[in-house]
A and B are shown apart, each in its own frame.
Chain A
Amino acid sequence: MGGLYFDIAHLFAGGLVLISFILLYQDRLYALLNVFALQAFVLALSVAWQAYVQDAPHLYITAGITIAFKAIAIPVALHRMVSRLGVHREVETVVRLVPTMLAGIALVALSMVVMLRVTGSADPLAREDLAFALSVVLLGMLMMVTRSNAVSQVVGFMSLENGLILAATGAKGMPLVVEISVAFSILIALIVIGIFLFRIRERFDSVDLQVLDDYRGESR
């Protein structure tokens, strides 16, 4: 495997981490969704590149599914939901953006340290991929934790799942059926979450989860 293959794979994986940071920085819902679509697109490119490098044609199917569902279907669906919900378009944060970004950098450093140390004997491409994938997963979780708006939590969850796909394709030999079932479960999760969003909205006129907590009579 030549240096170019490795560099390009590295570029895509690093791009995913970078886009995760962009996701963290967004303060508008529509922009958030667009960036999420971009992340899914880069993920699809990365998966397709892996398919080419590993000579594994079934990964092209994964890439196709990623483009169709994550880059197109889910962002469009979320766009329509947001406009139909009629909530105001700002991302409500719990922790301010700058500390969040700093925490994100720390998490990336952590995942690098852990992964590079643990997977010492593995193939360098897989090592880098796994390290980046863990960063994406952690950043997605960070997003879920630091946002109080339900839509941005959904996006955090989906981007976490992007990290999982990246890890899965980096490691050779993941069966197609697993990937497809993961993709479909994500779609079903979206449907369920969408229904819940509308129910919450119907009841509380907002998708800010803070309202739910207030309703339960809890104070933070």
Chain B
Amino acid sequence: MPLSGYLIGVAALLLLTLAALLPRPIRAGTVVIYGGSLGVTAVLFASALWQLLSGADWMALSLPLGIPWLGANFRLDALSAFILAVVDFGAVAASFYALGYGRHEHEPERVLPFYPAFLAAMNLVVLADDAFVFLLSWEMMSLSSWALVMSHHQVPGNARAGFVYIVMASIGTFALLLAFGLMAGDVGDYAFSTMRAHASERTVTGVVLALALFGAGSKAGLAPFHVWLPLAHPAAPSHVSALMSGVMTKVAVYGFLRIVFDILGAPAWWWGLPVLAVGAITAVIGALLGLTQNDLKRVLAYSTIENIGVIFIALGLSLAFRAHGYGAAAALALTAALFHVLNHSLFKSLLFFGSGALLTATGERSLARLGGLLNRMPMTGLFMLVGCVAISALPPFNGFVSEWLAFQAILLSPVLSSWALKLMIPAVGAMLALAAALAAAAYVRVFGIAFLGRPRSDAARNAVEVDRFSLIAMGTLGVLCLLTGVLPGLVIDALGPLVSQLIGTAMANQSQLGWLAIAPIAESRSSYDGLLVFLFITTSALMAAAIIHRFASDVSRIAPPWDCGFPDPDSATQYTPESFAQPVRRVFSGLGFAASETVDMPRPGDQRPARFELRLKDLVWDYGYQPVVSTVFTIADILNRLQFLTIRQYLSLVFAALVFLLLALAIWT
């Protein structure tokens, strides 16, 4: 499909936005908008995928829109084709899911118009080939997703979430604007091609790197700019949460890749340091805080932060290796990052769909009120299990492969000559391992509390399985999680062209290895065979099940007379989400979050119940944002006095400014 075809697709999505504004019966609107988005994004996905796999030539297109001397430039290269495929596949899945889920929406007119606009904006960001189009569509993406976050604005907390989100998004876009301004430099041309051509003359690359890390990183959820994410992502309807977490953060990663890997030019040796540090801290913070949340969608949002941290760790490794001239290792790290981009978009969408299904079935987001759902919603439970296993990086699913590749890259770090990197990367590796372990614990907790045990509320007791659209969407994603995990070689080979576009070299072709195995560096050093692992796990699990059934189930059992095996029918005696997280909370209470537990025990004879109170907070609020906020307020208070001057004082101000400037001119020329 020519590039204009993609733009027509985007235009079609925008038309759907307009169509959603027309008054019409609500049911038909849901079907038309989600169906239309499904169709358009399916076409876009198919052609982007074909573009990527066939290795077709890059395409560029310039339209006479926007700024007169610049026009609107679009380009589709291997990198944009890959991200476009990820975006549009996520959109296809979300639209299909929403065909069923969207029916439960109370106020669809608040969601429908912004949904296709959001999709169109994400497509445009990826296709943009100049700073103007990029920033415009980036801001459109922020605004439309903000509108979607605010669609349930009556729910307490959502208005604040929207506010925090819009503030962070605006500051982030501003940082990107400055970054592009610095990259355009003296040339002043905002087309990416011109910026790329003048990469070698640039002097302020460090500032650009910091701005890109802040601008794109705040959208992706990098610490310490992550605070909006766990507020905003859960506030949106679930299919939009899936898009924001699974897809929009990937568009942010794309923005970082495009700026730092593509336009900014050859990396300096220290570029990897800040990226690695921020990525590692993000991964640990996301995993830690995710483990202590009770709201299911918040757990997922924090886990997005953790996964973005993993991606940025791999990107930082890639920068470090590339700067030191180790092309193959850089390609390995970048492949790990991109593979994780793909994986996270798959399983995070799946998990958010699952949380939406639970929300539909029970009306509850709080883990403390779920439980025992595996019997009532077996298919949702199965797919959620797949998602949880995949995101916990357990073989044979896909999460394992990308994190394993990242670890392989970390193990290569001793070759680096810089001592700072030599010392830092093992620490980063340890933090990555810690984050992975904590994430696994978090998902054991999610699945165990929500699906196993006994129901903790009537809503969970009376839950029924969700509609077929949702199940098919989740099932497809689950199968893909398994497939990309079992056949990672195909994915790595497909990523080859864009890795070599960004780094210059790509990982060796994996398809010639036998048994669909992958070997990141050399077969003698380490290799992984998803298919074999899958077959082994399946057969051994089946055998174990058969043995247990054969030898255990048939044995007659004697039940204890006083029911000690199943002591109390009250569901409150089970593990609660808080109690499950308690060990980790205690260990990290001072470091990660100021957890304070107070027990209020009544005196003997007093009949009131004992109270246990637990307070958690993200320390970034106290130490990162509170000083900034209070400074801004102080300045605002001082400036506020300027609002109440007399006419003569205003005139005097103008006069004083004029005289001051003249004096400056007199002194400095």
Interface residues of chain A, those whose CB is within 8 Å of chain B, are 94, 107, 110-111, 113-114, 117-118, 138, 141-142, 144-145, 148, 209, 212-213, 216, 218, 220
Contacts and interface: CB of A to CB of B under 8 A. Distances in A.
Given A111-B662, A213-B646, A218-B644, 19 more contacts: A94-B648, A107-B659, A114-B665, A114-B666, A118-B669, A138-B659, A141-B651, A141-B658, A142-B655, A144-B648, A145-B648, A145-B651, A145-B652, A145-B655, A209-B647, A209-B648, A212-B646, A212-B647, A220-B646
A18 to B, nearest CB: 21
Nearest to A134: B662
B648 A148 contact: yes
B119 to A, nearest CB: 51
B646 A118 contact: no
B663 interface: yes
Which of B644, B655, B663, B666 gathers the greatest number of chain A CB atoms within 10 Å? B666
Interface string B630-669: 0000000000000010111001101100110011011001
Nearest to B663: A110
B136 to A, nearest CB: 37
Contact of A114 (B644, B651, B654, B662): B662
Contacts of A111: 662
Given A110-B662, A117-B669, A118-B665, A209 B646 contact: yes
A144 B655 CA distance: 9
B646 A218 contact: yes
Contacts of A209: 646-648
B654 to A, nearest CB: 8
B668 to A, nearest CB: 10
Contacts of B644: 218
Contacts of B659: 107, 110, 138
A61 to B, nearest CB: 30
Contact of B666 (A117, A142, A216): A117
- Interface residues of A, dominant DSSP: helix
B372 to A, nearest CB: 67
Which 8 A-B pairs have CB atoms at the shortest separation, nearest pair first? A213-B646, A113-B666, A145-B652, A114-B666, A141-B655, A114-B662, A145-B655, A114-B665
21 contacts: A107-B659, A110-B662, A110-B663, A110-B666, A113-B666, A117-B666, A138-B658, A141-B651, A141-B654, A141-B655, A141-B658, A142-B655, A144-B651, A145-B648, A145-B652, A148-B648, A209-B646, A209-B648, A212-B647, A213-B646, A218-B644
A94 B649 CA distance: 11
Contacts of A113: 666
Contacts of B663: 110
Contacts of A142: 655
A118 to B, nearest CB: 7
A136 to B, nearest CB: 14
Contacts of B651: 141, 144-145
Nearest to A120: B669
A161 B651 CA distance: 15
A212 B652 CA distance: 17
A118 B666 CA distance: 8
Interface string B27-69: 0000000000000000000000000000000000000000000
Contacts of B654: 141
Contacts of A216: 646
Contacts of A145: 648, 651-652, 655
Contacts of A144: 648, 651, 655
A71 B651 CA distance: 26
A23 to B, nearest CB: 16
A16 B644 CA distance: 36
Nearest to B667: A113
A209 B645 CA distance: 13
Contacts of B669: 117-118
A113 B667 CA distance: 9
Nearest to A214: B646
A220 B644 CA distance: 11
Which of B652, B658, B662, B663 gathers the greatest number of chain A CB atoms within 10 Å? B662
A94 B665 CA distance: 29
B558 to A, nearest CB: 89
Contacts of A118: 665, 669
B145 to A, nearest CB: 44
Contacts of B665: 114, 118
Interface in B359-375: none
Nearest to B646: A213
Contacts of A138: 658-659
B461 to A, nearest CB: 64
A142 B659 CA distance: 10
A212 B666 CA distance: 37
A94 B669 CA distance: 34
A218 B665 CA distance: 36
Nearest to A109: B666
Contacts of A107: 659
Which of B648, B655, B662, B665 gathers the greatest number of chain A CB atoms within 10 Å? B648
A209 B650 CA distance: 13
A85 B172 CA distance: 58
A33 to B, nearest CB: 21
Contacts of B646: 209, 212-213, 216, 218, 220
Nearest to A106: B659
A219 to B, nearest CB: 10
A194 B648 CA distance: 18
A110 B647 CA distance: 25
Contacts of A148: 648
A137 B659 CA distance: 11
Interface in B325-361: none
A148 B651 CA distance: 12
Contacts of B655: 141-142, 144-145
Contacts of B662: 110-111, 114
Contacts of A110: 659, 662-663, 666
Contacts of B666: 110, 113-114, 117
A117 B659 CA distance: 16
B665 to A, nearest CB: 5
A172 to B, nearest CB: 24
Nearest to B654: A141
Contacts of B647: 209, 212
